[in-house]
Chain A
Amino acid sequence: MNESRQFTPELLEEVNRIVSLFPEGKQKSALIRVLHLAQAHFGHLDTEAMDYVARLLHLNPIEVYEVATFYSMYDTKPVGKVKLEVCRTGPCMIEGAEKLVSYIEQKLGIKDGETTADGLFTLKSVECLGACGYAPMLQAGESFHEHLTEEKVDALIEEYRANPVANYMGLK
C-alpha cells in the first residue's frame, strides 16, 4: 500500500479519539464513523480501503464489508468529488424535487446516478433527509441547501466548480 492509501497522522489521531469514546474492546463501535473518514480521505471505499480500516480497528475484513455495503451514504464505487444528493421523498416531491433533478441532469449533462466526465459532480436522488419544511433541497458534502430554485442551483454549481467540497466527514 503506497502512502496516499493510508491515513495521515491527524486522521490516525482522530481514529484514536473516536475509539476512546467506547469501552475497552468495543472499538467496533467506531467503525461507522471511521468509514466516513476513510471515504472522505480515499474518495470511495474500495476493497483496499475497507481492508485498511479493518486492520486499523482490528476487525475481520468481512465485518467492514457488510457494513460498508449496508448503509446508503457509503460509496463502494468511484463517485465525483462533489455529490449532489437531492431529496426525492414525499414533501420534497410535492415541492418539485423531480423538476430539480431534471434541471441538474440537463445542466450537468448526466443522468441521475451518474458522474460528470471531469469527475467533479455526481448526481443522486436520495430518500428523506429531514428538511421537509424547507423543500426542495439537496445535500452536498456536509451542507444542506434548502428552498432551492434554478437560480440557486446555478450559483451552487458554480461555487462548487471553483471550490469542490469533500464528501462527508473529513476532519473539521
Chain B
Amino acid sequence: MSKKLLLEHIDVEGIRSYEVYRKQGGYQAVEKALKTLSPDDLVEEVKKSGLRGRGGAGFPTGMKWSFLAKPDGVPRHLLCNADESEPGTFKDRYLMEKIPHLLIEGMILSSYALGANQSYIYIRGEYMFVMRIVEQAIAEAYANGWLGKNIMGSGFDLDLAITPGAGAYICGEETALIESLEGKRGNPRMKPPFPAVKGLWQRPTVVNNVETIAAVVPIVNHGGDAYAAIGIGRSTGTKLISASGNINKPGVYEIELGLPVEEFIYSEEYCGGIKNGKRLKALIPGGSSVPVLPHYLVCKTAAGEDRLMSYESLADGGFATGSMLGSGGFIVYDEDQCMVRNTWNFSRFYHHESCGQCSPCREGTGWMEKVLHRLEEGHGTMEDIDLLWDIQRKIEGNTICPLGDAAAWPVAAAIRHFREEFEWHVRQPKLCLERNYGLVTEKKFEAQPA
C-alpha cells in the first residue's frame, strides 16, 4: 500500500472523467463490497481501519456509523458535508474538483454500509463550479449503472444528488447542515436528539466529511487492517493537508499521519520552507479555529519531542502548549505577520458567521471583534487584553454548537502565546501600525523612540 491513497491517481490526465477513473481501478471497491461484503462487514472494516472524521472533530467513523438508529420502515440518510468553509481549508474542493468519482464511489460504499437509499452531498454555494463537476460525475455514474436501482444486480438501490448552500460557515455544523438541506436557515439544533436518531426530515442520518467518505474507498480496496497499518498510533491512514500562508509551495498534500511537522514545512516535497528566506513565527495547524502555536512549539512539543502531523501529537500539551489537527487547514506565518491583526481578522470572520441563536456567541463574537480592532488600530488599553480573555472564556462551552468554541480558541491562544505583542500594541501603537510586529519583537522596537 503506497502512502498516497486518495490522490494516488490525481496526476493521471482526464481522471475527472468516468472512463479514465474506471481504467485506473475506479469502482472496483463497489464491485468488491456488493459481491463479497455485507453492510455489517463493511462497517466492521471501517472500524478496523481506525478512520477518524476528517472534517475537524476526528471522531471514529465506524463508531459514528454504529450509532445510526435503524427503526423498521423508516428511511435512513447519508449526507456528505462538502460545506468546506473553515479558513485555511481547501482540501475537499481539491478532491471534488480533481477526482469527483472518488467521492461518489465512497458515497455508494458508505450508503450501502448504512442501508441508506437516498444520499445527498451538501456543498457550499460558493463552490458552484465544483458542484457542476460533481453533478456531471453523478450523471456519468448513473449512466454506467453505479447509481439507481439494483446496482450491479446486488438488489441495492441508491439515489445520489448534490445540493448547494448559499454562503454560511455555520452550515458545516452537522445539524445546521441538516436544517439547510431542509430548505431552512442554518440554525444548529439542540442535541439530543442526535442526527443518528433524528436527522434529515426527522429520520436517522449520518453526516460525514468529503475526505472521510473518500477514504472508505481505499479501506475497502485494501482492507481495514492494511489501512490501520499506515499512520501512527490512533492516527491511522493518510490525511489531506491544505497548506497556505508564508510558504514557498502552498497547496493540497496527502501525507501519512505521523509525518514530522518540521519535514512538512521545510522539505521540498511539501511546503518547501518559509517564503523569502524569512523565519517561522507561528503555525495554525488545523484551520482558523484551532489554537495558534508559537514558533518554539511548532517542531517540538513542550516535552521536547518531535511534533508530528497526527491527532495526538498536535494536541500534545493540551491548549496550554498544543493545538489540534482539525481540518488540516495548515496556515504558516512568517516573522513579519502581526498576531493581533490576524486574530482580529478571524474574530471578524466568526462574528460574520455566527447564526445569532445563542447570546454568548452572537454578542461575544462582535464584542471580541470590536476590542481586537481597537487594539490593532492603536486605541486599546491593557485592560482590553484582560477583557478579551474574559469574553472568550464566557463564550466557550456556552453555546448550542461549537462555533462559539471555534471563535473563542484563537483569541485565547493568541493572548496565551503572544501577550507581549498585544501589550506592544498598547504601548507603541504608532510603531505597531507602521510596521508589522515580528518575531524578535524587543529588538525590533528597541532602537525606536517611545
Residues of chain A within 8 A (CB-CB) of B333 are 94
B243: interface (CB < 8 Å)? yes
Identify which of A66, A133, A144, A168 contacts B125 (C-beta below 8 A): A168
Identify which of A36, A66, A90, A169 contacts B345 (C-beta below 8 A): A90
A111: interface (CB < 8 Å)? no
Once A26-B201, A73-B166 are accepted as A-B contacts, the answer to whether A133 and B353 lie under 8 Å apart by CB is no
Quick one: which of A1-60 are within 8 Å of B by CB? 21-23, 26, 28-33, 35-36, 59
Give the distance in Å from the alpha carbon of A52 to the alpha carbon of B242 in the complex: 42
Once A32-B183, A134-B250 are accepted as A-B contacts, the answer to whether A89 and B164 lie under 8 Å apart by CB is no
Could you say which interface size class chain B belongs to? 35 or more
Residues of chain A within 8 A (CB-CB) of B181 are 29
Complex contact A28–B166 (CB within 8 A): no
Complex contact B126–A129 (CB within 8 A): yes
Question: Scoring B residues 142 to 163 as 1 if CB is less than 8 Å from chain A, else 0, what string do you get?
Answer: 0000000000000000010101
Identify which of A22, A32, A135, A142 contacts B244 (C-beta below 8 A): A135
Complex contact B342–A93 (CB within 8 A): yes
Identify which of A132, A134, A144, A168 contacts B89 (C-beta below 8 A): A132
Residues of chain A within 8 A (CB-CB) of B422 are none
A172: interface (CB < 8 Å)? yes
Count of A-B contacts judged by CB separation below 8 Å: 143
Question: Scoring B residues 363 to 403 as 1 if CB is less than 8 Å from chain A, else 0, what string do you get?
Answer: 00000000000000000000000000000000000000000
Give the distance in Å from the alpha carbon of A35 to the alpha carbon of B184 in the complex: 12
The minimal Cβ–Cβ distance linking B302 to chain A, given in whole angstroms, is 25
Complex contact A94–B342 (CB within 8 A): yes
Residues of chain A within 8 A (CB-CB) of B164 are 32-33, 36, 169
Identify which of B93, B166, B242, B331 contacts A71 (C-beta below 8 A): B166
The minimal Cβ–Cβ distance linking B323 to chain A, given in whole angstroms, is 15
Complex contact B87–A90 (CB within 8 A): yes
Q: 20 A-B contacts, Cβ less than 8 Å apart?
A: A26-B182, A30-B183, A32-B164, A33-B163, A36-B128, A67-B166, A70-B185, A73-B125, A90-B345, A90-B346, A91-B87, A93-B342, A94-B337, A127-B352, A128-B85, A128-B86, A132-B87, A132-B242, A133-B251, A142-B129
Residues of B within 8 A of A (CB): 84-90, 93, 118, 124-129, 132, 159, 161, 163-169, 180-186, 201, 242-246, 250-252, 288, 329, 331, 333, 337, 341-342, 345-346, 349, 352-353, 355
